[in-house]
Amino acid sequence: MTKSICYLSIAFLILVSCNSKYKYNFEKSEHGVTIHQDSLNINVEIIDDAIIHVNKILNTSTPSTIPDYVTVLEPQKVDWELKEASDRITISTNLVKIFVNSDGTITYNTKDGKDLLAETNERTFINSEEEGKEHNVSQGFQAGDEGLYGLGQFQSGIMNWKNVPIRLQQYNQEIAIPFLVSTKGYGIYWHNYSLTDFNNPENEIVFDSKAEVNNNSEDAIAPVDGEKENVAAYAAKEAAEKNIRETTFTPTKTGEYTFLALSDNNGRMRGNINVSIDGDSVINYSTIWMPRRYSGKKHLEAGKAYKVIFQNTGAKIPGKLFYNEPDFNKTVFSSTKGNAIDYYFVYGANPGEVISNYQELTGKAPMFSKKSYGFWQCRERYHNQEELLENAREMRDRNIPVDNIVQDWFYWPKGTKGPEWDRAKYPDPDAMVDELTKLNLNLMVSVWPEVKNKPLEEKYGLTKIESSNYIDIYDKKVSEQFYRSLSDSMFHKGVKSIWLDGTEPEGVRDTKVSTAVGPYEEVQNAYSLEVTRAMYEGRREEFPNERVFNLTRSAYAGQQRYGATSWSGDVAGTWEQFAEQIPAGLNFTMAGVPYWTHDIGGFFRDSKSLNPIYDSQYTNPEYIELLTRWFQFGAFSPIFRIHGYVSETEIWRYNKDFETTARKFIDTRYKLMPYIYSEAWKVTTQGKLMMSPLVYHYPNDKNTWGIKDQFFFGESLMICNVTEYQQRQKEIYLPEGIWYNFWTGKKVKAKGEITVETPLDETPIFVKAGSILPIGPKVQFATEFTKDPIEIVVYPGADGEYVVYFDDNESYNYENKTYSEVVFTYSDADKTLKVTKGVDNYVVFEDLPKEFLIHTVDQGRAERIYFQGEETTIQF
């Protein structure tokens, strides 16, 4: 790719003489070395002390001209040294050592010799561009005693990716981000935009029985109300042929086997894929959107005969089941296109540091407006202007805190698709937005990069990718004009953000076509990245004082820098899919993109919305309990948003108990807004995560490696989710330290598993000792002015420090240091809290003192202070 695989600058090349100790000729430059090894050129580029870029290309190949869409960090001025021996070159920075061995493999150590990562020639190759080969380039690494995380969002329920085979391909509900983080203190960014297989499996379980596949090409349900784009119009009828096969499998080794089921050669809608082993479900999907490949894992005993049943209902092929054995112990990236092995090694002392360094390479996430962290009222859909306004007014009349309301699709003129208002349904969008603004509500509108509107296409010059209605976003002029079409119809009417739906994109029927920069197959996984770039750059230029927030269904490496949040797609309202959202979101954020959300309650909810499990979402007690638990999860997700297909999702439409609990969690979210906003500041400035798995904080505690129903919200709150129907007690894991029950303030000293009560109106939340929580007053929207003080709650048992952040909530002036900070530092030995001023270029505390109520969690009396910028000490 253009920037990333260019050869080291000729101006700095120093040709090593024939007296070199090393086996091969190499050239040293200011930022690295190029090694000429037989037919292969190996380029090792030092980006900074922690980031190393490796590119391997055949000396007969020409570097790709595809642009580098992902990395933004140019090589820095770094002190490094090179030593050579006959069998290897050693490159040392202040943090890592890189050994380039004579067999072409590269090994990475810390500066003090701790093993981090080692390449292997096994599963490593560069193929010439020939038809029929599944992969063109592949790089294998050794995988040791470690947990591996990231790679994007997948619906398998798997937390730790070690040895697991996955297809990295964008699809509704699945997001491919080729960045991996290890508990050992490194990350790998695989720099290839084509379809990529991770740990492509080596073995296959063969089924002898004959399959009955779905050969019906006319299986679509008739369009509803003539709206051919309605989801129901695409959903296939349930296949009569169940396509079930079985066999016996006898493993030769004991341990955890990992599986990959190839279901179909193309994505499809509706079906069921299930792989069970001796009755235990290993892979199970029964959602409307069905991808091509599915992952699972199970512990098996050597020599034992297992009954394997493979159901692949609705597929056009019988399907195949592959596996890796327990001693696979490799990390392998294999891409279908490309002529070079291209990756970045990223070092960090812990996963948090790795991700922060990776964001130095690919860009930090900017701040969203404060209102973006509030509640989002969303449904499929408001059908006209008055219906949307009626519900907005009622939210305010009922005193339900909310900051944002969303217009889903089909606001456009009938028979078209694109950013244009149907004036029969929305007669005055300007007046609609004006009223919403008076209600202190921001409006987000759904816009797809798929356009079916000839006048609009011609007006803005929206060239499409051949065989689809998706615009050629890789064409700079087209991307600029796509932004212009949105701005004219949305932003100039006061719309604050865009819901960029369908950005995978799934609708390119012929992937052999070309784009403005080259073959579509070579760039297809990065489509969403370029859509969000066009929106971010266009809006920042045109509205420089308004922060960008966009919601999108896909993502790619580097997308965090473009003011976007991804959501988990059209998931089903089931307990199983609810439970899967948690590890899906955690691995998404561990892939370096910190903002993520989901449809609270699921998209497909009941019999009227393509989910036959529940008769009515509004009255079915099991569904309402599912919605309650999902709502609790949503309140502690980075973005807090409800949504549902053919649904009226307003919280008063369910029973009173649900509404009461929903109000409780909305109020809790808003009371935590000073904490949430301060955590967002750390996301932007330090590369932290707002939602992170326990392993992010405790990588050396192996008990955390597989935990997928607990996570941290910010640095202090550990959320423990209830994911089973009528579960009123739950086993949770407490890492080392002292913990406090968030709801009761009760101290818990135990380390390890404990049993906690889980009444339906609560989800277990624990606060670690040393935390300092800023808690605000009850408000109706995030930026509501109130004279009430911020409460500062200290959790004793360890030293702690917390920085409470203030700015204007809306602009990018923080980039010029127009913000203020109050620093709270707690000494557990002295039982004192020191309050000091950080940066103060916004509030100016001397002129506008801040009022705080300060107390420990176990102390009833609070001390009130008016902070004017001078150091203050509170004695507890």
Catalytic residue ranges: 501, 504, 570
SS3 label, residue 47: coil
Task: Give yes or no for a contact between 168 and 191, defined as CB atoms under 8 angstroms apart.
Answer: no
446 and 406 Cβ atoms separated by less than 8 Å: yes
Taking the C-alpha atoms of residue 78 and residue 148, their distance in angstroms, rounded to an integer, is: 29
Helices 656-671 and 621-635 sit at what angle, rounded to 10 degrees? 0
Q: How far apart are CA 334 and CA 339, in angstroms?
A: 12
Show contacts of 59-62: CB within 8 Å, 24+ apart: 61/126, 61/339, 61/340, 62/339
Pull the structure tokens for residue 343: 């990756």
What amino acid is encoded at 195 in this protein?
A: L
Q: How far apart are CA 69 and CA 88, in angstroms?
A: 33
Of 628, 141, 53, the residue nearest 340 (C-alpha)? 53
Burial class from Cβ neighbours inside 10 Å (0-12, 13-18, 19+) for residue 824 reads: buried
Q: What does the block give as tokens for 521? A: 């197959």
Q: What is the DSSP string of 565-608?
A: EEE--S-BSSHHHHHHHHHHHHHHHHTT---EE--BT-SB-SGG
Reading phi first (left if > 0) and then psi (alpha if -120 to 50, else beta), residue 199 is in left
267 closest CA partner among 200, 398, 172: 172
Q: Give dist(CA 446, CA 423) in Å, integer.
A: 17
Strand 442-447 relative to strand 710-713, pairing: unpaired
- The per-residue DSSP string of 321-389 comes to EEEE-TT--EEEEEESS-SEEEEEEEE-SSHHHHHHHHHHHH-PPPPPPGGGGSEEE--B---SHHHHH
At residue 436, φ and ψ (nearest 5 deg) are: -60, -40
Residue owning tokens 């500041």: 681
How many alpha carbons fall within 13 Å on the CB side of residue 764?
A: 25
Ramachandran category for residue 461: left, alpha or beta (phi over 0 → left; psi -120 to 50 → alpha): left
User: Using an 8 Å Cβ cutoff, are 334 and 200 in contact?
Assistant: yes
**What distance in Å separates the CA atoms of residue 673 and residue 824, rounded to the nearest whole number?**
17
User: Among all chains, which residue has been given the structure tokens 């209600």?
Assistant: 439
Q: Which of 571, 461, 442, 451 is nearest to 516 (CA)?
A: 461
Kindly report the number of other CB atoms within 10 A of residue 726's CB atom: 9
CB 344 within 8 A of CB 139: no
Q: 551 exposed, middle or buried (CB, 10 Å; 0-12, 13-18, 19+)? A: buried
Q: Which residues contact 674 (CB under 8 A, 6 or more apart)?
A: 774, 775, 776, 790, 804
Record the tokens describing residue 823, joined without a space.
């620093």
**CA nearest neighbour of 106 among 355, 327, 328, 341:** 341
